[in-house]
Amino acid sequence: MIGIILELLISWLILWFIEKKQLSVLGFKPTKSRLINLGIGFLFAASVCSIYHLMSTAFIDNKWILNPQLNAQMLRSGLWFTFKSVLFEELIFRGALLYIAIEKIGIKKGCILSAVLFGIYHWFSYNAFGNPVQMLIIFFMTAIFGLMLAFAFAKTKSLYLPIGLHFGWNLLNIVVFSNGPLGQQILTKANPNRLEGILSLLVFLFQIFALPLLTFLYFKYLSKKQKIALSN
């Protein structure tokens, strides 16, 4: 938690010395619309992530089973780890630096820059150096995810929607479906059988594009809602 506090302090210093702005420009203050965005982002991500993992076993001789080693401490640790890691990454990639980038070079360029840096960052977190194919796949997947999160911040002028999207995905992916650095968590696969061929490709593409497309439709809804409110 000390790291998060330091991030907030550094973010404030950067915003003040470069833009003469306070942390409030990151949209921390809870409002009804921001809390709704948080909930919707979580619901979208959790739903898509669940569908993706269920599809990974639906077409083969495999299934998800409850981890017999599961306990309350494991759940608490997984939840806390996921929340901290999401907040840490959001403050870096969708916080003060993205706000300043948008102010200096515009929304599109700022969001693309944030997405590229997010993709490169995951080369380090996945320790992918030395394997060009793995590096390319990781960059492609995480940069698209990062672009969605960056636009979520830009469109709502708040961290609530990107945090909801990011936390919803990571919580289901890491803690529920045991696909992450924590190892076996709530659910595990009954056997090592995996999808192959065209089905594997289709499920892989769903994993990458389903949530960004759903979020894009939500952006369109928010824009339409804003136009109606301005016209009244």
User: Residues 165, 42: contact at Cβ < 8 Å?
Assistant: yes
pLDDT score for 173: 97
This prediction's pTM: 0.94
Is the model's pLDDT at 232 over the cut of 70?
no
Q: What is the mean pLDDT of residues 169-179?
A: 97
Residues 58 and 171: their CA atoms lie apart, in Å, by 21
User: Residues 24, 148: contact at Cβ < 8 Å?
Assistant: no
Collect all residues with Cβ–Cβ distance below 8 Å to 229 and sequence separation of at least 6: none
Label residue 180 by pLDDT band (50, 70, 90). Answer: confident
Domain boundaries, the chain: 39-231
- Could you tell me which residue, 120 or 128, shows the higher pLDDT? 120
pLDDT score for 184: 93
Segment (H or E) for 188: strand 187-189
Is the model's pLDDT at 71 over the cut of 80?
yes
User: Residues 36, 214: contact at Cβ < 8 Å?
Assistant: no
Q: If you ran DSSP here, which 8-state letter would residue 189 be given?
A: E
Per-residue pLDDT tens digits for 98-127: 999 999 999 999 999 999 999 999 999 888
DSSP bridge partners of 66: 187
